[in-house]
Amino acid sequence: MRILQLTAWRAGMLSVAFVCATAGTAAAQWLSVPVPGTPRTADGKPNLTAPTPHAADGKPDLSGIWHADTMRYNDNLLPRGTQAPMLPWAAELYKHRVDTRGYDRPMTRCMPHGVPDAMTVAGLPFKILQIPGETVVLFEEFHKYRQIHTDGRQLPVDPDPAWYGYSIGRWEGETFVVDTAGFKEGSWLDNSGHPHTEALHLTERFRRINYGRMDLEVDVNDPKAYSRPWKSDTLHFLLSPDTELLEHLCENNRDLDHLRDFSQQAAPSTTGKP
């Protein structure tokens, strides 16, 4: 109940924040920059309900600056009222993370969110650059990036594990399907703390509904952490028109000391994993 209340509050306040963001930045030339090619209404405002744009190759173009429409997915990737089919060790670790209020999230140490939750931090947008052979995702949070190769290559057979893994993408009709594997352990699938192992394989399905909205569904397959594959909630992203990403480097992390004090009170996990 407490989580639901927090979530509703966050969602409401974030909505206000984004209304403000679009209304109060006319004088800020970096924050308010007319983006060429943006469809506009008669009064010159971005037409966010215009049709999905398409690239030169005829495929939908996902390019743009996006943000999640709520922090709920960041809190918990699963649809409301559902639970991930965690193996016992994963369930124990997850419970520990929930019980200790997520004090030791990777972000506490200025490590970034992972896949897909780096896209779900509603207050920190991400930018998609769709170019021939590659789609690049730039995350404002901590100034990170992710590459999704669309040049026909296959996933690496024996990859050196990586925080964001290795991603290849292809089009199935209007849907951009991204397969990612080769993950390093360490990232959490969401802030609740759903864990994963190096065996994680994600399939993301992006669909740009119109100019201003994009949806994503994620298939999570990690046989070493979950008894069967499971699906995320449908994540909704909204376009931030006529603006730009801002720098977000972890230059002044004052929180760590306070959280360290909390960690000394928290019971250690018995799984051997932080």
Helix (H, G, I), strand (E, B) or coil at 59: coil
* Cβ proximity of 14 and 122 under 8 Å: yes
Q: Indicate which single residue of 136, 155, 177, 259 sits in contact with other proteins (rule: CB under 8 A).
A: 259
**140 lines the binding site for other proteins (CB under 8 A):** yes
Give how many residues touch other proteins by CB under 8 A. Answer: 54
**204 lines the binding site for other proteins (CB under 8 A):** no
The pairing of beta strand 166-172 with beta strand 201-210: unpaired
Alpha-carbon distance values, 207 to 53, 61, 171, 197, 235 (Å): 12, 10, 10, 27, 10
**262 lines the binding site for other proteins (CB under 8 A):** yes
The rounded distance, in Å, linking the Cα atoms of 61 and 1 is 39
**16 lines the binding site for other proteins (CB under 8 A):** yes
Shortest reach from residue 194's CB to other proteins, in Å: 14
Looking at beta carbons only, is 142 or 171 nearer to other proteins? Answer: 142
**191 lines the binding site for other proteins (CB under 8 A):** yes
Shortest reach from residue 12's CB to other proteins, in Å: 6
Task: Return all residues near 117 (Cβ < 8 A) that are at least 6 apart.
Answer: 73, 74, 77, 187, 188, 189, 190, 191
- Chain residues in the site for other proteins (CB under 8 A): 2, 5-6, 8-10, 12-14, 16-17, 20-21, 23-25, 27-28, 31, 71, 74, 100-103, 105, 107-108, 110, 113, 121-124, 140-142, 191, 243, 246-255, 257-259, 261-262
